[in-house]
A and B are shown apart, each in its own frame.
Chain A
Amino acid sequence: MSILLTIAVIALIFIVIFQIAKASEYVTVLRGQGKGMRESNKINGALMISFLVLGLIGVWYCNDLYFGKTLLAYDAASVEGARVDSMMWYTIAVTGSAFIITQIMLFFFAYKYQHNDEGKVYYFAHNNKLEFIWTIIPAIVLTFLVVIGLRNWFLFTGEPPKEAMVVEITGKQFGWIYRYPGKDAAFGKKYFKNIDPATNSLGIIWEDKLSHDDVVSEQVMYLVKGKPVKLVIGSRDVIHDVGLTHFRMKMDAVPGIPTTMWFTPKYTTKEMKEITNNPNFVYEISCDQICGNGHYSMKGIIEVVDQEEFDLWMAKQKPQYLVNFPDKDPSVVPAADSAKPVIGMAAPAKKEKVNM
């Protein structure tokens, strides 16, 4: 019923508007086309200048309302992200001033040079000097932006510092799998036909001994504050994208073609809670490439901690190999008959495998 009512009201509004418009057309005709045209021209001219003024106020007001809700309200959470932010400010300065100048010119001219009966137009077909000026100025300004941009681009896409830690992240519908290389700092090989969602979500080839200390997790990715991290990114099914908005980084996860990205976390999660004044703050990995109907819920969590905390956490992790083959776990040899792994002792045991 209420639907019908709504439709009826909307239809009524349309009819009223339509009748008014029709009537005003008749009035214009009756009063003489010239006069009518002059009047509507005046109204539209006035609207032009009002639109300009209201629009610029609106731009300011919108900024006032929403700036605090953007990422620009506080520091980028990575060293490289800070460069993105500074580049953004230069770009805002350039495009913002171009925006204001050209919009003012556009609407002001429209207002100022609206039709008047004595109005003489200025036959002005071209002017090489003017055209040269507005070719060359944008070109120079853009060169400046390109230089800043490319310096950052080559830094971001270049090799990470040597001391960087490496973490592998693999997207799947609809979640993320993380893998740490373990003490040997190298990942074991994997092959997608080995994938078994229950025991081997990445399809790791266990014959490759490099894989024996690889830690696999689907929970939280731990990173170290101040330590560059290189992410090796892959996908198990369709294209996903590792979106790290607080770090200002993003890279597609493409099945069959590994990609990489690196950055240096600047603040721990705890510190960010204070900086953003949000006790629930958490670094989220958002999937930024449409990947199916669960795309919007494909969330990962990153916890940035300091080195000690990270080591403590790492020590508690059990390599996936040992999870799958508990009998291979040297730390449980004394109790070989009971297959129960002893958590916490796995870490020292790993040392034997380091010289792989």
Chain B
Amino acid sequence: MSHEVEIQVAGVATTHEAHGHHEHHEHHDTFITKYVFSQDHKMIAKQFLITGMFWAVLGGLMSVLFRLQLGYPDSTFPWLETILGKWAKGGHITPEAYYALVTTHGTVLVFFVLTAGLSGTFANFLIPLQIGARDMASPFLNMLSYWFFFTASIVMLSSLFVETGPFSGGWTAYPPLSALGEASPGSKTGMDLWIISMALFVVSSLLGGLNYIATILNMRTKGMSMTRLPLTIWALFFTAVLGVLSFPVLLSGFILLIFDRNFGTSFYLSDIYVNGVGALPNEGGSAILFQHLFWFLGHPEVYIILLPAMGMVSEILSVNSRKPIFGYIAMIGSLFAIAILAFLVWAHHMFVTGLNPLLGSIFVLLTLLIAVPSAIKVFNWITTLWRGNIRFTPGMLFAIGFVSLFISGGLTGIWLGNSALDIHLHDTYFVIAHFHIVMGVASMFGMFAGIYHWYPKMYGRFMNNTLGYMHFWITIAGAYLIFWPMHYQGLAGMPRRYYDFSIWESFKQFVELNRFISTVAMIVFAAQLLFLINFFYSIFKGRKVTNLNPWGSNTLEWTTPLRPGHGNWPGEIPEVHRWAYDYGKDGKEFVQQTTPVGEDESNH
């Protein structure tokens, strides 16, 4: 029992010896090959993480700016004009800027932060380490995957600086709005850059995804059967499968959009008369076609974001409860069910587009079916805590927070998935509350949990616990304070993506609440800066890890050296003899996967 305490004591012994540069034992690595064009999956993971963090800060800052407008519609902030220039004339964000901010916030958070930043980081970092491989199946493609993402980032970033503004038609980019520069200035150059950036991003995702799948299927170490894999790997595996099967469909949708925008085709356009321009020649296209193509990725995308978080949370809850994950096979089964269903529910985003009612009813059925595997997961996580011996590391706190948020946001999915109710709630603040809690904040929590938990393996140091605790409690309280009351705004019918509610008799009653939400949003954003400081400070000055296995964990990554070089294990790759969750078995606190099964061991 006190084993882990001892370990941690040992871990402290050499804390204070400040070190200068820690020369790596890797040889013949130049700065360029080690830190820039690295083919080491661990370095690529860090590149994804830090690029993701950059975008998270920018995307978060954007939300602070537009929340400023929503919370304080009558105030002026001269400093805004200093920063944004003509986009905030007189210290007041213009509608153009507001919509551009909302759109970029959505795009960046969904794709760059919660897809690339989350699965890019942890798939790269954990897959080889946890399955016992020296690197990815193709380290070179892996490197390309990051650099495509990096290029996509540059292009997206450049779209913020064009004369006509970045794209401003919502992250879903529905045509005709996204196809017609005449209908919205943001759909001019800004949209060109947006599509190019997204196309590059799709390439990045595909290169990454194929690599993850190939690696998991082919490169497991001896003894690591699929049913001995940690749940993180299962989750990342399904995530990659979802991405590989659905991102190409999104790309096809974008390609048709490029044709409509630039080459005079009419895939999405028909019967359009634009004010000030006149009737357009296009006839016969269907604007709804794009929505089908978009949501065929768009819905799986939700799970691409959520599944890695689920996997990491399963692992972290089990490790820190010192207890096996409850229902390992059911956890895999429910991941599998979710992955399958993810492909069969996309039209629930389209209940009010005039969808065929019979088709709609099938999508209702399949959508609500997702609640079953989700319920299984929740109860299994809760049962994992039950009669455990819980260590509240910052990672563990975020994992518990994830479960809480997943419950809260998942349950409102039952409202929205039921088409007759969705008619009423569609595109209101209720939806904003729902997906921010269940997908946005929950996955963010999964990501934080992962960062705190695997930080010692990434950088050989710990992050500061006190800052981690503060970060957690401010963030979870803030997340609920921001998004819980939004359900009420949604129940008042308040539409999303409104710049100003003051002209609406039906929606203007929430002035104070909006101000409150905006204020909390700023505080929560500031708390994320605490995390950033902690993260970057600890890379150089954090408490050093001196024990190979600081959390007393069973998985393979903790059998590598403190700072594993390229190749991960200096000698042979260890062999695996058991599943990853033998915690508290036969009175032993934990039994690593590399430990052979003993004669006297009970079966699980």
Binding site for B on A (CB under 8 A): 3, 10, 14, 17-18, 20-22, 24-25, 28-29, 32-34, 37, 40-41, 43-45, 47-48, 51, 55, 58-59, 62-63, 66-67, 69-72, 81, 83-84, 87-88, 91, 94-95, 98-99, 102-103, 105-107, 109-110, 113-127, 130-131, 134-135, 138-139, 142, 145-146, 148-150, 152-154, 156-158, 172-173, 192-193, 195, 197, 203, 236-239, 241, 243, 245-246, 248-252, 254-257, 259-260, 278, 280-282, 284, 286-297, 299
Contact = CB atoms under 8 A, between A and B. Distances in A.
B404 A103 contact: yes
B375 A134 contact: yes
A103 B495 contact: no
Contact of A121 (B176, B469, B583): B583
Nearest to B168: A293
Nearest to A158: B357
B44 interface: no
Interface stretch (B34-42, B361-369, B439-447): B361-369
Given A14-B533, A18-B467, A256 B286 contact: yes
Interface string B397-417: 100100110011001101100
A156 B176 contact: no
Given A246-B506, A292-B183, A99 B12 contact: no
A63 B371 CA distance: 25
Contact of A125 (B381, B529, B581): B581
Closest 8 CB pairs of A and B: A245-B493, A256-B270, A259-B354, A152-B420, A121-B584, A44-B392, A149-B418, A119-B389
Interface string B499-510: 111011111011
A62 B513 CA distance: 10
A254 B220 CA distance: 51
B60 to A, nearest CB: 15
A249 B423 contact: yes
B11 A33 contact: yes
B330 interface: yes
Contacts of A249: 423-424
Contacts of A130: 379, 383
A308 B284 CA distance: 43
Interface stretch (B108-116, B254-262, B484-492): B484-492
Interface of B: 1-2, 5-6, 8-9, 11-12, 15-16, 79, 95-96, 99, 168-170, 174-177, 180, 183-186, 269-275, 279, 283-288, 321-330, 352-354, 357, 360-361, 364-365, 368-369, 371-372, 375-376, 378-383, 385-392, 397, 400, 403-404, 407-408, 411-412, 414-415, 418-421, 423-424, 426-428, 464-467, 469-470, 473, 476-477, 480-481, 484-485, 488, 491-493, 495-501, 503-507, 509-510, 513, 526, 529-530, 533-534, 537, 543, 581, 583-586, 604
A236 B272 contact: yes
Given A32-B9, A150-B364, A295 B420 contact: no
Given A29-B543, A123-B604, A153-B420, A117 B2 contact: yes
A84 B477 contact: no
24 contacts: A14-B533, A20-B466, A48-B400, A113-B321, A116-B389, A120-B584, A121-B389, A121-B584, A122-B388, A124-B383, A130-B383, A148-B420, A149-B418, A149-B419, A150-B364, A153-B364, A237-B183, A239-B287, A241-B352, A246-B506, A249-B423, A255-B272, A256-B270, A278-B505
A145 B174 contact: no
A86 to B, nearest CB: 11
B427 A292 contact: no
Given A192-B272, A289-B427, A122 B323 contact: yes
A95 B420 contact: no
A309 to B, nearest CB: 21
Contacts of B176: 237-239, 255
B488 A67 contact: yes
Nearest to B582: A123
Contacts of A295: 99, 497-499
A237 B354 contact: no
Given A123-B323, A126-B329, A95 B414 contact: yes
Contacts of A245: 424, 428, 492-493, 506
Contact of B95 (A83, A115, A280, A294): A294
B387 A59 contact: no
Contact of B498 (A44, A113, A296): A296
Query: Interface centre among A105, A125, A193, by most B CB within 10 Å?
Result: A125
A40 B392 contact: yes
A123 B469 contact: no
A105 B513 CA distance: 30
Contact of B273 (A113, A236, A282): A236
Given A113-B386, A131-B327, A293-B99, A66 B485 contact: yes
A348 to B, nearest CB: 35
A37 B7 CA distance: 12
Given A34-B2, A123-B604, A288-B426, A255 B279 contact: no
A241 B392 contact: no
A255 B288 CA distance: 10
Given A41-B391, A114-B392, A115-B391, 7 more contacts: A121-B583, A123-B585, A149-B420, A254-B354, A255-B176, A256-B283, A282-B505
B400 A110 contact: yes
Given A138-B375, A153-B361, A109 B421 contact: no
A122 B170 CA distance: 49
Contact of A126 (B170, B328, B392): B328
Contacts of A125: 324-328, 581, 604
Nearest to A25: B464
Contacts of A103: 404, 407-408
Contact of B360 (A71, A114, A134, A153): A153
B491 A286 contact: no
A173 B183 contact: yes
A256 B287 contact: yes
Contacts of A18: 467, 530, 533, 537
Contacts of A284: 504-506
B180 A126 contact: no
Nearest to B504: A284
A98 B411 contact: yes
A112 to B, nearest CB: 9
A120 B526 CA distance: 40
Contacts of B467: 17-18, 21
B316 to A, nearest CB: 13
A141 to B, nearest CB: 9
Contacts of B376: 131, 134-135
A95 B412 CA distance: 7
B352 A41 contact: no
A15 B331 CA distance: 43
A59 to B, nearest CB: 7
Contacts of A84: 420-421, 423-424
Contacts of B285: 256
Contact of A69 (B11, B185, B488, B537): B488
A172 B275 contact: yes
Contacts of B385: 106, 109-110, 113
Query: Interface centre among A152, A157, A291, by most B CB within 10 Å?
Result: A157
Contacts of B526: 10
Given A25-B465, A289-B174, A195 B279 contact: yes
Nearest to A81: B424
B298 to A, nearest CB: 15
Contacts of B407: 98-99, 102-103, 106
Nearest to A109: B385
Contact of B378 (A72, A102, A288): A102
Contacts of B481: 58
A292 B168 CA distance: 8
Contacts of B485: 62, 66
A251 B354 contact: yes
Contacts of B365: 146, 150
